[in-house]
Amino acid sequence: MQVGIGIPNTLSNVDRELTVSWARKAEAGPFTSLGVFDRVVYDSFDPFQTLAVCAGATDEIHLSTSIVAGPLRSNAMLAKKAATLDVLSGGRLTLGLALGARKDDYEAVETEYRTRGRRFTKQLDELRSYWEGDEIGPDPVQDSGPELLVGGSSDPAFKRVGRFGDGYIHGGGPPRAFAKDAEKARAAWSEEGRPGDPTLWGHGYFALGGDEQAEKGREYLLDYYEFTGPFAERIADGLLTTPQEIVQFVRGYEEEGCDELLLFPTVADEEQYDRLAEVVGNEWAGE
Amino acid sequence: MNVNVIGGGPGGLYASLLLKKSNPDWDITLYERDPADNTYGWGIVFSDSTLSALREADYRTHQQITDRFIEWDPIDVHYDGEYIRCGGHRFAGMMRADLKDILRDRCDEVGVEMHFETDVDDPNALAAESELLVGADGARSITRETFSERFKPRITEGNAKFAWFGTAKPFDVFTFIFRENEDGLWRIHAYPGRKSTFIVECTEETWRNAGLDEKSEDDGLAYLEDLFADHLNGYDLESKLYGWRNFPIVKNRTWHHDDENVVLLGDAAHTAHFSIGSGTKMAMEDAIALYEGFEEHPEDEKAAIRWYEKERRPAVEALQKASRHSRRYFETVERYTNLEPQQFVFNMLTRSGRITYDELGIRDREYVDEFDRWYARRTNGTEAERAVATPPMHQPLSLRDVTVPNRAAFSPTPSSDATDGVPSERQLRRLSDLGSEGVGLVMTEPVSVSSIGRITPGTPGLYGEEHGDAWASAVEQTRKASDRTTLGIELVHAGQRGATKPRAYGLDRPLPDDDAWDLLSASATPYTSSSQIPKAMDADDMKRVRERFAYAVQLADQAGFDLLQLHFGHGYLLSSFLSPRTNERDDEYGGSLENRLRYPLDVFDAVRAVWPDEKPVSVKLPATDWAPDGYDLTDAFAAGARLEEHGCDLLTVVAGQTTANDRPKFDPDVLGNYCEQIRNEVNVPAMSTNYLTTSDDVNTQVGGATADLCQWYPEHVDVNSL
């Protein structure tokens, strides 16, 4: 298993300097990929543009949207953005897509919330056609387009993984929760007769450095996930606040067969990067 | 703080007690509609883990409760004149009335204000004057209904009829009795207590046949006492509130309402079928979590009640899932009466998916050893005298003259390496590699019976001498590695689904026009919006394809395969006839299921006529389209029965993919459940296509009559590589 790190693109008070420095450090450090989230009605950066800046500042590290809410964008525009980023990063993009559960995001971009599932299925089907076709360029660097991961935990979501994805990206939670959904992704994969195994990605949240940081991280998560009701509490409860918790979490994910685990900051401070890099670098040699 | 509790059952009492004990300055008032000493129900059951939680929450009542406990660990099953016991399950039970007495006294002692025989007419008004309102008012909760906009309850009913009774006849362990009389099959759930609990359950049909819809209480009791006279030994059945009900299944979108600070607890929030005995246990665990929420967030009621739901929901949902399996089992137990008692009981014990073969072995080694000996005796007769027989997975299965040496099968996914149907070296090696792993049956990937029957340009085929020779060499190679493994070949013809790119980068991506070939299907319906529109088959096409199948079968026999499997599913040609969503024909091949089955059965007959009598034919049969107005399980039962009449030896149960926009379930047990239902309804050997990874999975499915063969994906073998 490999470990990646999230760019703080949905935290307040982030600027160009922090973003670029975070990306450069990650590339020099123990991490194999950079992740970003996607939210419209929130104080946050656009995921593709954030990754584009990171692409310019780095050479090797993988760039992943984890996730982008696909149906918030038109199919052609999404295909073009992803293909562009793939080309300009030299084939480093992993495109993680899911539905996103925020109604207000859908309202803000004037697209229908209710039918998003159906449109998402169609979108996944069409993305590859755009990438393989000649009408809308550029041609992605990666064969057949960027690596495509599909998220969600409903039955239709697993169906999409089996039909359209290269793998599955899990929504977060303890290793046991990941294991349960990973099993379904594998089942869907096998059921659809896809060769090999689906690539499996997971993610978690961290706030290192003591109670004050932990409380800040917790507040951010309760705010970011406020729309999920009682579930926000469960997400906040899962915040990793000590090196010990990080190590256990990473090992747990590895045992459950995760291929790439992304750890996202919840406090916008370069010190958070350093603390995580130290834990992951010391305790975790990767593969 | 001002707390009001509606409902004086164990959940409401226990929540009041714990909150008051920990917060003596709070005003806690409980309202109960019935008199203090009134109690419905008879005994209740606890498991080990609940007990330790009770001990930690309130030691005093824990002592009193455990003093009253009757403990036991076996489950007894009486079925078809046999009696089988399985131990190690560890239960404890007591009378519901006694539990309420203990909790009521303790509530009194800590200062909970209790009003019995007091109806709460207006929970809204009560909520307005409370800082916390607890709705512990049972499955028909008024609290829930009052705030239904918020809780969004979903209440459905089980199919079976049931009634609770008590009896002085001492049942000393959990006892299930299955008894058939002229009216139908009756199920009894009986368990110990100061008085024993005796629950009677049956289908609505049986209930009406017996006239219980019209009989008076006395006549009803007399009927049952007579029917179960041998178990009751002259003791009466007693009834508190005589009545037959359907089990209410209660679920809510949420259990807390944080504008008004209302929570639901126990049956008001969630029910679980009595066959897994957890109603009171769940209510009391809810009470503990609610109290703990306030310990975690002492200053913040909203956070506390959010915490409560967060804590409880995963555990409750897991139990509800197990309960759903269990309820459905008891509702449809008639299906399993074809099983011999030993297998009937094993099937029953593993019904909820929570207890596996290995788990049973931990609980009661002797029971499992006895079961293994029985299973071995039944399948081969040679191990009957051994103390330890080989587990079910390693018992042989006979299909016609072919003996599959064990119950695991490898069935790799389609690959795309062939050239003009000639299988590649890698495709052939896959067969021989898998064949050396020791499983009972190795199938080929789907092999096309004609050039236009291929799924992708690289689909291997069997429509010319060169194809036959290639497969024959692979069979020979495999036999060298293992002469016991049986080899099967799966034959397919593409339908609306075909002429696509390889699957590595997603499914059903059509080939460019120049590379594609014309597709055939039952009707001119494309698989996806971008797929080629197939030609609806005419009489000539049907004849030609049938002949292709027959020719391929001849080659397969010459190549040395032991078993033949025809693919009736997943959107290929034969599946397009079966599904009403892809069959729009108005001739004798469309319309009714009988008509839709006609062509697939024609092909089956043509194949059966060519394939040697001593070798078995299997059909990969869909259980459902997983789509509205589609082919469903009832159709699958009928199709399975017809195939059996036509001489089909094995059904491999698959589901979905007959149309691209189906809505599959990815519950890991779902294909096993379909397999079990078809196998036992049609009474034909079946192979499950569940994603099983351990030998425990295989033993559980084979032992429990879910399947006779299991597709297996052990960790050390990459079945789908290539």
Measured between its terminal Cα atoms, the distance across chain B in Å is: 66
pLDDT tens-place string over residues B174-215: 999 999 999 999 999 999 988 899 999 999 999 999 999 999
Residue B605 pLDDT > 90: yes
User: Percentage of chain B surpassing pLDDT 90?
Assistant: 79
Question: Looking at residue B382, what is its pLDDT?
Answer: 67
Question: For strand B563-567 and strand B617-622, is the pairing parallel, antiparallel, or unpaired?
Answer: parallel
* Residue that wins the pLDDT comparison between B620 and A186: B620
* Residue of B309, B427, B505 to mutate for A, most A C-beta atoms under 10 A: B505
Distance between CA B368 and CA A165 in Å, rounded?
43
Better-scored residue on pLDDT, B382 or B689 = B689
**A268, A18 in Cβ contact below 8 A?**
yes
Token output for B270: 């969630």
In order, the DSSP letters of B582-651 are: T----STTSSSHHHHHHHHHHHHHHHHHHS-TTS-EEEEEES--SSTTS--HHHHHHHHHHHHHTT--EE
Q: Around Cβ B217, how many Cβ atoms within 10 Å? A: 11
Question: Quick check: A170 contacting B, CB < 8 Å?
Answer: no
**Mean predicted confidence (pLDDT) in A192-198:** 86
* Token pair recorded at residue B324: 């759903």
* pLDDT reading at B546 higher than 50: yes
| Number of Cβ within a 10 Å radius of residue B205 | 12
This complex has an ipTM of 0.73
Q: What are phi and psi of B291, to 5 degrees?
A: -65, -40
For chain A, the straight-line distance linking the first and the last C-alpha, in angstroms and rounded, comes to 6
pLDDT at B52: 80
pLDDT at A187: 86
CB distance A186–B691 less than 8 Å? yes
Strand partners, B83: B78
**CA distances (Å), origin B553, targets B121, B449, B546, B562:** 74, 9, 11, 11
Q: Is A159 on the interface with B (CB under 8 A)?
A: yes
Distance between CA atoms of B451 and B30, rounded to whole angstroms? 76
Smallest CA–CA distance, residue A187 to chain B, in Å, is 6
Mark yes or no for CB contact A191/B656 under 8 Å.
yes
Residues of B in contact with A229 (CB under 8 A): 254, 306
Q: Are B253 and B120 in contact (CB under 8 A)?
A: no
**CB-side neighbour CA atoms (13 Å) of A178:** 28
pLDDT tens per residue, range B629-661 = 999 999 999 999 999 999 999 999 999 999 998
Predicted local confidence at residue A11, as pLDDT: 94
- Please compute the mean of the pLDDT values over residues B86-111 and round it to a whole number: 92
Of A148, A162, A190, the CB nearest to B713: A190
- Band (B383; pLDDT cuts 50, 70, 90): low
What does the mean pLDDT of chain B come to? 93
Q: Which of A128, A191, A229 sits opposite B506 (nearest CB)?
A: A128
Q: How many angstroms separate the CA of residue B527 from the nearest CA in chain A?
A: 13
For residue B400, what are its two tokens? Answer: 């016609």
| Other CB atoms within 10 Å distance of the CB of residue B49 | 11
Please say if the pLDDT value at position B265 is more than 60: yes
Task: Identify the pLDDT of residue A287.
Answer: 44
Reported as a single tens digit per residue, the pLDDT across A8-47 is 999 998 999 999 999 999 999 899 999 999 999 999 999 9
Burial B328-359 (b: 16+ CB within 10 A, else e): bbbbebbebeebebbbbbbbbbbbbbebbbbe
| Contact at CB, A196 and B508, closer than 8 angstroms | no
Which chain A positions have a beta carbon within 8 Å of B414's beta carbon? 193
pLDDT band at A284 (very low <50, low <70, confident <90, very high): low
Does the structure show a pLDDT above 60 at A285? no
pTM of the model: 0.85
pLDDT at A286 over 70: no
- Is A230 in Cβ contact with B306 (below 8 Å)? yes
- What is the identity of the amino acid at A52? A
Token representation of residue B471: 């497969």
pLDDT digits 0-9 by tens, A256-283: 999 999 999 999 999 999 999 999 988 7
Secondary structure class of B663 (helix, strand, coil): coil
What is the arrangement of strands in the sheet containing B27-31, beginning at the earlier edge strand?
B113-115, B27-31, B2-6, B132-135, B262-264, B256-257
| Shortest alpha-carbon distance between residue A124 and chain B (Å) | 10
Cβ <8 Å between A192 and B666:
no
Instruction: Give the pLDDT band (50/70/90) at residue B310.
Output: confident
Taking CB atoms and an 8 Å limit, are A155 and B666 in contact across chains? Answer: yes
Percent of chain A with pLDDT over 90: 82
B531 to chain A: nearest residue by CA?
A125
> Strand locations in B7-98, DSSP E?
27-31, 43-46, 70-72, 75-79, 82-86, 91-95
Chain A interface test: which of B513, B666, B688 (most A C-beta within 10 Å): B666
CB within 8 Å: B530 and A125: yes
Residue B444, token pair as written in the block: 């080929």
pLDDT at A162 (0 to 100): 92
Handedness of CA B46, B50, B52, B54 (dihedral sign): negative
Name the residue of chain B whose CA is nearest to A238's CA.
B310
Give B122-134 pLDDT, tens digit per residue: 999 999 999 999 9
What single-letter DSSP state applies at residue B484? Answer: S
Element (DSSP H or E) covering residue B242: none
Using an 8 Å CB-CB cutoff, list chain A residues near B303: 233
Q: Which residues pair with B461 in a beta bridge?
A: B448
Q: How confident is the model at residue B465 (pLDDT cuts 50, 70, 90)?
A: very high
